[in-house]
A and B are shown apart, each in its own frame.
Chain A
Amino acid sequence: MERLRSIEDLEALRKRLISGRDPSIPTIVITAGTCGQASGANDLIRITKRELLEKRLTGKIHLRITGCHGFCEMEPSVLVEPYGNFYPKLSIEGMSKVIEAVAKGEVAKDLLYADPETGEAVEKRSDIPFYKSQVRTILDRLEQIDPIRIADYIETGGYSALAKVLAKGKSAWVIEEVKASGLRGRGGAGFPTGVKWKLLSKQRDGNGKFLVCNADEGDPGAYMDRSVLEGNPHSIIEGMIIGAYGTGATEGVIYVRNEYPLAIKHLIIALRQAREQGLLGEDILGTGFSFDIRLVRGAGAFVCGEETALMRSIEGKMGEPTQRPPYPVQKGIDGRPTAINNVETWANVPVIIAGGAKKFAKIGTEGNSGTKIFSLVGKIRNTGLVEVPMGATIEEIIYSVGGGAVGDKKIKAVQTGGPSGGCIPTARFDLSIDYDSLTQAGSIMGSGGMIVMDEGTCMVDVAKYFMNFLKDESCGKCFTCRKGTQRMYEILDDISKGQGTSESIDLLEELANVVKDTTMCGLGQTAANPVLSTLRYFRDEYVEHIESKKCRAGVCKELITYSINDDCTGCMVCVKACPEGAITGEKKKLHVIDQEKCIKCGACRSVCKFDAVDVT
């Protein structure tokens, strides 16, 4: 790989790359992020490579292996450019058919995405409701590039923002531009990035300053950072170099959790390629500006996503939060000034610089500019990563993009912000998604997890689930966080088992408020949110668990009974399915469940084809 010695070199390389490509040649784009690979993308890649070679199609059809395109429900999926045909849930046989069709210049109609309402095939991906309702500024880059080929990134305009910054040669301009864009930290708290950078640039420290990319994404059900790292690692690197130029930082650290092997692999490759091309390290693009980034892997603690704990972890110490102030910007890693930003924040930086702050500020609402990626999971039809402008309503995300409920159960609530977030009921789905509205509603933006819950979800159980997570993941330093989460779990467990009393709710609420008040770090201060928000919006469910000893969602095992109704045809399927032998009955006669033996596993209900098993 040649080393680029000037900005002109970079532009010349870009021109060469673009002119070397014939845009009329169709490209098969296979999504192979972790989600894609898990659902079989590797097989598709293998079969495609083999067929292209065997049928001598290599010059006629291009193949690009990219990160996740967002529509995870439909993995493994294939996109054919430049036509924009989208083939979801493709099998190996399907892949062969697609290759055949592409070679002939046709469309494999029967394999295209079919509209779930009308059943009609949608020819262009941009017409699919899931994609149509999004504004994809970060995510659309993921499908344009092969993450392990820096040439792809440069060809599609990568590092042009860096070139712009270096050509301007003014560090203050970078900060002003980021400030003017109104970009707020995408990690959850929403602190204005420009302000943070300004603070860092003002710090004088002879020993250097740090920039950190926080990629310790640990919320259950959230994976937008992983997808960006896997699919477009160079955007993070470019963002950090620009940040370093603006703030005068000398060292960069990307802190990735070790549970993201693919992201780590792609990052290592990207860092090496950027260094070899002269875009990272000493004397970047011959301008004399130097900045290097190293990778630090997390050791598996959720709390290390908290910035002070993250810094301790980078230092090699136990990941425990410390008191702020002093803030990381004043005293960070090894006592040196440090600015920490989330993956998505860094990914937005090149977008802002390349497109201009004004353009960026126009997206979204005032005070909440730009787009935000959410991972939409749970009881929803279109699970996946969605990118919408800030200020979009929950309703838009869930119904327009997400396609509404899956099955016939109604959606009841959405949980945002991971374990530290809260549940928002349907009545408040008109809420616009921005930092301030969500906090007011008792939840948080968090890094962008969105778990959709329907009537089959028990809110006490949800609170219990998150409290179980938090009592394990609290670092344990603050007594109130450690014991508070344990005690909240204990009370919730009692309530879910029908052992709660009328005092339980009061005690739970009182304790939750104290935990929120008296802990040191962000984890503890928000740890009570799952309890407080479910109490705020679903108190009746708690009361029902305590007073009538009932779980209306049919989740809390101690409070439900399984019984067989008259719809039973006597097919014996449930008898065979029951692991405890609790169901008795003869062929074509009504079956009976022995309540003594029943362990409430729900196996009978899931196998019954006649809806004859009731849960009450």
Chain B
Amino acid sequence: MVTLFINDLQVSVEDGTTLLEAAKFLGFPIPTLCHMEGLTPYGACRLCVVEIGEGPRAKLVSSCTYPAEQGLRVRTASARVVKARKMVLELLLATCPQSKIIQDLAAAHDLRQQRFKQEYEDCILCGLCTRMCEEQMMAKAIGFRGRGENRSLGTPFDIRSEECRLCGGCMYVCPACQLRCTYNEPERAVCGGCANLSPPCLEKDQFDDMMCYMDPCVACEQEAEDKG
């Protein structure tokens, strides 16, 4: 067991517990996008940063990957943390404004402006889908490719992987546009996040470049069933 202090509250946790888990145990909310129970922590979204250490040695670390250490002092909502978190959200909003989850988080953190050039990406590369695919579905059908600004997610050579069983797990966990394909009833597939007025996959040409590994997707199949 290790004992540490989170916002000056003492807590004892098992060895190997992350700061995020310890903070959650105490009931301190920490926003995350790339964390999910049952998947290995990854530390990609940087929203869950907390401040550790004292004085000039104080630093921000991602709470989802940082292990609890004996006597560590953690602040989950210091001014530095809040400022950083807001900037991360601003960057997220500038990248992926159509995500309902990101919109809600931005609202909850009182973010009132977005000062960067607006982009409309479908993916924040949080890696939830690849971890879901690999660790829970044991498929390893998708993965990261490239680096830096050319980093992307997909199957090798962009050919549908034989490993993929069309389980839909990747979509289920996606925080960026989770709602897009998860409902198969047309009226419920109207996605608040994307502001699409019809089930997105039905108008295929419009969404050709979007990341969708369901081929055909649930909504399309549903429509075919309804018709036939």
Q: Is B179 an interface residue (CB 8 A)?
A: no
Shortest Cβ distance from A524 into B: residue: B46
Which residues does chain B contribute within 8 Å of A242, judged by CB atoms? none
How many whole Å from B141's CB to the nearest CB in chain A? Answer: 16
- Does B88 sit within 8 A of A, measured CB to CB? yes
Q: Is the CB of B44 within 8 A of A486?
A: no
Are the C-beta atoms of A474 and B148 separated by less than 8 Å?
Answer: yes
What residues of chain A have their CB less than 8 Å away from a CB belonging to chain B?
301, 303, 318-319, 322-323, 325-326, 470-480, 482-487, 490, 503, 507, 510-511, 514, 517-520
In the complex, whether B125 has a CB less than 8 A from a CB of chain A is yes
Q: By the criterion CB–CB under 8 Å, are B46 and A478 in contact? A: yes
Report which of B43, B69, B92, B115 forms a contact with A477, defined as CB distance below 8 A: B43
* Contact residues in A for B42 (Cβ distance below 8 Å): 477
Measured CB to CB, the closest approach of chain B to A71, in angstroms, equals 35
Partner of B148, one of A323, A476, A510, A519: A476
- The answer to whether B94 touches A487, judged by C-beta atoms less than 8 angstroms apart, is yes
Residues of B within 8 A of A520 (CB): 43, 46, 62, 65
A511 to B89, CA, bound (A): 12
* In the complex, B112 has a CB within 8 A of chain A: no
Identify A478's interface contact among B44, B83, B87, B92, CB under 8 A: B44
Chain B residues with Cβ below 8 Å from A303 are 147
- Is the CB–CB distance between B88 and A479 below 8 Å? yes
Q: Of residues 69 to 117 in B, which have CB atoms within 8 Å of A's CB atoms? A: 69, 80, 83-84, 87-88, 91-92, 94-95, 115-117
B149 on the A face (CB < 8 A) = yes
Q: A479-B45, A483-B95 known; A518 and B60 CB under 8 Å?
A: yes
Contact check: which of A482, A487, A519 meets B116 at CB < 8 Å?
A: A487
Q: Which residues of B contact A514 (CB under 8 A)?
A: 83-84, 87-88
Are the C-beta atoms of B46 and A518 separated by less than 8 Å?
A: yes
Nearest CB in chain A: distance from B62 CB, A: 7
- Which bracket fits the contact residues of B? 35 or more
Q: Are A472 and B84 in contact (CB under 8 A)?
A: no
Q: Which B residues are in CB contact (< 8 Å) with A475? A: 147-148, 151
Residue B124 is within 8 A (CB to CB) of chain A in the complex: yes
- Cβ of A331 to closest chain B Cβ, rounded Å: 11
- 14 A-B pairs in the complex with CB atoms less than 8 angstroms apart: A323-B41, A323-B65, A474-B147, A476-B149, A479-B44, A480-B91, A482-B151, A484-B91, A487-B91, A487-B116, A490-B116, A514-B83, A517-B84, A518-B62
> A254 to chain B: closest CB distance in Å?
23
Residue of B nearest to A480 (CB): B46
Asked if B172 is at the interface (CB within 8 A of a chain A CB), the reply is no
Given contacts A476-B146, A503-B115, contact A511 B87 (CB under 8 A): yes
Q: Which of B49, B62, B127, B148 has the most CB of A within 10 A?
A: B148
A518 touches B149 (CB 8 A): no
- Are A519 and B46 CB-contacts (below 8 A) given A480-B91, A484-B91, A514-B84? yes
Q: Contact string, B130-153, partner A, CB cutoff 8 A, digits 1/0?
A: 000000000000001011111100
The listed residue (A323, A471, A487, A510) touching B43 by CB distance below 8 A is: A323
Distance (Å) between the CB of A436 and the closest chain B CB?
A: 13
CB atoms of B62 and A479 under 8 A apart: no
Pick from B69, B88, B94, B151 the residue with the most CB of A within 10 Å: B88
Question: B142-180, CB under 8 A of A: which get 1 and which 0?
Answer: 001011111100000000000000000000000000000
Query: Which residues from B are CB-within-8-Å of A511?
Result: 87, 91
Complex interface: chain B residues within 8 A of A518 (CB): 46, 49, 60, 62, 84, 87-88
Query: In the complex, are the beta carbons of B148 and A482 less than 8 A apart?
Result: yes
> Are A318 and B144 neighbours in the complex by a CB distance under 8 Å?
yes
Chain A residues near B62 (CB, 8 Å)? 323, 518, 520
Residues of chain A lying within 8 A (CB to CB) of residue B41 = 323
B45 touches A301 (CB 8 A): no
User: Is B147 within 8 A of A473, CB to CB?
Assistant: yes
User: Which of A477, A486, A503 interacts with B149 by CB under 8 Å?
Assistant: A486
Among B45, B49, B91, B127, chain A packs the most CB atoms within 10 A around the CB of B91
CB nearest neighbor in A for B62? A520
CA distance A474 to B125 in the complex (A): 14
B183: interface (CB < 8 Å): no
